[in-house]
């Protein structure tokens, strides 16, 4: 499949922001939504897009303030991300879909899957936790992040953002994302017990943000959760080991999407 380019999509007005969505893959295939991580964008999935089965219609969404989406005036929260994704899919007239979500995208996907009634057929999370306690050391890591620190760590990432976003303001975006990360009440929490979709939890074994304890705790709550642990990889397992990642993700999607494809109808409007 061809990856996302930030040139072939459209921006949809949602709650005082323009949310960018781009469709790749099979235009009549089964919808598979791809949700990126914090301070990233849909193109972060391009390492695996070309290896995904051709039966899928790939729907990339840039979270508000990220990629080609404007920030708007609403505070960044996982609730807002969830509402934005639901609004995008409503405008595209997509009733049911599967999801691959990385980090913030995975946390948002957990909220989407826990909503009742659920619209998700199969769920893949990468490096995503469902809750953080107030004394979790990960919160200190998040709280210490600044725009300058991120620029130092990921200069190419910031340069891409500034070249792509229609209203770039990295000094405003980073504090908004830090506030999202550290707002513990907005994580899906115990609501993940309501997830009925088959779920694959992907984790890099050296991930310092989504620990083994986080993942095992999530797996205890989600009825149909399987763990795919990738040795020798960190938080961004997809880009660190794309071949290994796709080796576990593809069979899972094919199994659970094929099982219900004969009973589930899909409708999409053109991008």
pLDDT tens for 177-207 read: 999 999 999 999 999 999 999 999 999 999 9
Residues recorded for the chain:
271
222 closest CA partner among 81, 124, 143: 124
Residue 266 has pLDDT above 50, yes or no: no
In angstroms, the CA 147 to CA 150 distance is 5
Residue 261 has pLDDT above 70, yes or no: no
Average pLDDT over residues 144-164: 97
Residue with tokens 């080796």: 247
Confidence at residue 268, expressed as pLDDT on a 0 to 100 scale: 37
CB-based contact 211:127 (threshold 8 Å)? no
Write down all domains in the chain, each with its CATH number in brackets. 10-260 (3.40.50.1820)
In angstroms, the CA 264 to CA 257 distance is 9
In angstroms, the CA 69 to CA 105 distance is 15
When pLDDT is cut at 50, 70 and 90, the band that residue 257 belongs to is confident
In angstroms, the CA 182 to CA 197 distance is 27
In angstroms, the CA 33 to CA 124 distance is 10
H or E element that contains 124: strand 120-126
CB-based contact 78:186 (threshold 8 Å)? yes
> Which strands sit side by side in the sheet containing 97-102, from one edge to the other?
10-14, 17-25, 56-61, 30-35, 97-102, 120-126, 199-204, 225-230
Confidence at residue 258, expressed as pLDDT on a 0 to 100 scale: 63
Average pLDDT over residues 147-155: 97
pTM of the model: 0.94
Task: Name the pairing type of β-strands 17-25 and 10-14.
Answer: antiparallel
Residues ≥6 apart with Cβ < 8 Å to 137: none
Average pLDDT over residues 108-137: 95
Confidence at residue 116, expressed as pLDDT on a 0 to 100 scale: 87
In angstroms, the CA 53 to CA 122 distance is 15
For residue range 215-243, list pLDDT tens digits in order: 999 999 999 999 999 999 999 999 999 99
Residues ≥6 apart with Cβ < 8 Å to 251: none
Average pLDDT over residues 162-175: 97
Q: Residue 179 corresponds to which tokens in the numbers above?
A: 């506030």
Average pLDDT over residues 161-178: 98
For residue range 25-46, list pLDDT tens digits in order: 999 999 999 999 999 999 999 9
Give the mean pLDDT of the chain: 93
Residue 264 has pLDDT above 60, yes or no: no
CB-based contact 109:128 (threshold 8 Å)? yes
When pLDDT is cut at 50, 70 and 90, the band that residue 124 belongs to is very high
Residue 270 has pLDDT above 50, yes or no: no
In angstroms, the CA 90 to CA 76 distance is 21
Percent of the chain's residues with pLDDT above 70: 94
Residue 260 has pLDDT above 80, yes or no: no
For residue range 82-122, list pLDDT tens digits in order: 999 999 999 999 999 999 999 999 999 999 999 988 899 99
In angstroms, the CA 73 to CA 60 distance is 22
């Amino acid at each position: 499949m061809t990856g996302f380019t930030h040139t072939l999509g459209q921006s949809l007005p949602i709650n005082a922001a323009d949310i960018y969505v781009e469709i790749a893959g099979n235009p009549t295939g089964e919808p598979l939504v791809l949700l990126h991580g914090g301070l990233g964008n849909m193109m972060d999935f391009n390492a695996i897009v070309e290896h995904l089965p051709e039966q899928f219609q790939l729907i990339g969404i840039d979270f508000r303030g990220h990629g080609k989406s404007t920030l708007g005036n609403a505070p960044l929260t996982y609730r807002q991300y969830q509402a934005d994704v639901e609004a995008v899919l409503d405008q595209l007239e997509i009733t049911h879909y599967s999801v691959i979500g990385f980090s913030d995208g995975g946390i948002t996907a957990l909220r989407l899957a826990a909503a009742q009634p659920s619209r998700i057929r199969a769920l893949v999370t990468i490096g995503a936790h469902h809750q953080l306690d107030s004394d979790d050391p990960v919160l200190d890591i998040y709280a210490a992040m600044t725009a300058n620190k991120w620029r130092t760590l990921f200069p190419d990432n910031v340069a891409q953002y500034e070249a792509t976003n229609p209203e770039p303001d990295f000094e405003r975006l980073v504090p908004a994302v830090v506030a999202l990360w550290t707002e513990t009440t907005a994580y899906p929490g115990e609501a993940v017990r309501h997830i009925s979709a088959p779920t694959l939890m992907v984790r890099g074994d050296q991930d310092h943000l989504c620990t083994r304890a986080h993942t095992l705790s999530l797996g205890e709550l989600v009825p149909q959760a399987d763990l795919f642990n990738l040795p020798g990889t960190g938080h961004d397992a997809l880009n660190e080991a794309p071949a290994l990642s796709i080796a576990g993700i593809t069979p899972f999607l094919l199994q659970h999407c094929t099982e219900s494809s004969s009973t589930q109808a899909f409708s999409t409007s053109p991008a």
